[in-house]
Amino acid sequence: LSAKPLPKDSLIGNLQEEHEENQKPFKPIQGESDNTETYQDEFKKTFFERFLKVEQEKGNDITEILEQLSKIGYKFSG
């Protein structure tokens, strides 16, 4: 079986032709965001939390590590 194009004077042919005429060209949406931050802060926080957990499991004193980081100028922010 082969599909034959519908005659333009048939009801379906007219509807199809009208539909094709009413189609607007595709225009993609450009997304914008006011947020200029990246996931860098989240990455640092996750890394730091894992680091402290591993050091604690090793038996190292976390307060000593935090004091040393504070002395070298590491700032803890929430």
Residue 20 lies in a domain: no
DSSP notation for the chain: --PPPPPTTSHHHHHHHHHHHHPPPP-------S----THHHHHHHHHHHHHHHHHHTT--HHHHHHHHHHTTPPP--
Residue 10 lies in a domain: no
Count up the domains in the chain and report the number.
1
Confidence of residue 69 (pLDDT cuts 50, 70, 90): confident
Residue 25 lies in a domain: no
Higher pLDDT, 27 or 3: 27
1 pLDDT more than 60:
no
Residue 18 lies in a domain: no
pLDDT at 77: 64
pTM comes to 0.42
- What range does the domain containing 49 cover? 38-78
